[in-house]
Amino acid sequence: KHAPLIITKATNFRTECDKLEIVYGDVNYKPSGSPKYTYERFKITYECKPSTIPNKSATPMVSGGFPPIQAFAIFKSKVKWNESSNDWWKPANDKDSRTFENELIVDYVQDLIFNAIDEEGLLINPPPTPSNAKKDYLYKIKTVDIALNVRSTKEFFRNKKKRDFFALGDKARDGSGANTKVKNDKFLRETIVVSAHVRNLGLQ
């Protein structure tokens, strides 16, 4: 539960994105408190969930309304460690204004990819966890390569066509593989790629 950075890779690229969990420590200072300094631990999570935006171009549902668009939304959560229960607090119960759950970051997402990179710039695959074969690399992650693929809110092209997109070299996700997120439609899709240093991720 206290691993500094855990990347959970999607296993079904049609229905999932990657998930990132970051654990870091902080110090809370209260001038009149006893003790004045309290060490705290937080976890930040970035994850995708199915979008709830209605697809008004689709056939209305029998129950009323429209089905959701075929896309994801990215949510961010920040939770605090509960020493008493030896687990993470629910933000609704921790009485801390700094924590929150499922805050919407962006919608119309096609894919979200996280790759762990070591100090030599090489991909760590699979991403290390406390129990897998790469566990010795858990504290050797130096940067995280992030690819965010988003689609236009409205149709952009005149004709339907499968259009590949950049997926950090993962052919299972860029349109050239069988288990892909690429769709046959008229939407424009773009991929935003950044590299984030691990020491800065907990500050986001």
Q: Measured in whole angstroms, how far is the alpha carbon of residue 123 from the centre of its chain?
A: 18
Per-residue pLDDT of the chain (204 residues; tens, 9 = 90+): 788 999 999 988 778 999 999 999 888 888 887 888 888 999 999 999 999 999 999 999 999 999 999 999 999 999 999 999 999 999 999 999 999 999 999 999 999 999 999 999 999 999 999 999 999 999 999 999 999 999 999 999 999 988 888 888 887 787 666 556 677 889 999 999 999 998 776 544
- The percent helix, strand, coil of the chain (3-state, each to 5) is 5, 40, 55
What sign does the dihedral 57-59-60-66 (CA atoms) show?
negative
Nearest of 105, 143, 111 to residue 124 by alpha carbon:
143
Return the beta strands (E) in the chain as ranges: 5-8, 19-29, 37-50, 72-82, 87-88, 100-117, 143-151, 161-162, 184-185, 189-197
